[in-house]
Amino acid sequence: MESRAKILGHAVHPILIVFPLGLLATAVVFDIVHMITGGAVYATVAFWMLAAGLIGGLLAAPFGLWDWLAIPSNTRAKSIGLIHALANGTALVLFFISWWIRYNAPDRPSTLAFVIALAGAVMALVGGWFGGELVERLGVGVDEGANLDAPSSLSHSTAHSTRAAANKS
């Protein structure tokens, strides 16, 4: 099944997600650099990267929702898409909380703000894995002939073997 929202033939959601993922992950890296060096500028950069990443995530999410609504019910793809959305939504909430905690002193984030941002990064990795499962394994947003019930990429089955079995029935 192909994506509903496209720009010049490419799905919009995967184009937009690279920005929040990169910005939010790099914010955590700048937090680590701040912790090692004590440089306030690194903490301030992390604060603004969090802000920009949150805006980017909020811009990307509606396009993912629009594509998810087009996935047929009772398919593995629909379930995986929901897990992907919940994980990434949780990541955005965690990053927002971290940003909010820093708001009054962006150059001096607390350990709690860092830990919450780190938890957000872990959730983003989980959400990213499920997004990869949707695209790489199930073909959502890529191929009109996608196998929306392909087994997990962690299984030893191929995505094509289940499609062939379904076509024989």
Domain containing residue 85: 6-168
Q: Is residue 1 part of a domain?
A: no
Q: Is residue 83 part of a domain?
A: yes
Q: Is residue 63 part of a domain?
A: yes
Q: Is residue 116 part of a domain?
A: yes
pLDDT tens column, 10-42: 788 888 999 999 999 999 999 999 999 999 999
Q: Is residue 12 part of a domain?
A: yes
Q: Is residue 163 part of a domain?
A: yes
Q: Helix or strand or coil: residue 11?
A: strand
Q: Quote the pTM value.
A: 0.86
Number of domains in the chain: 1
Q: Is residue 73 part of a domain?
A: yes
What is the pLDDT, as a whole number, of residue 160?
A: 64
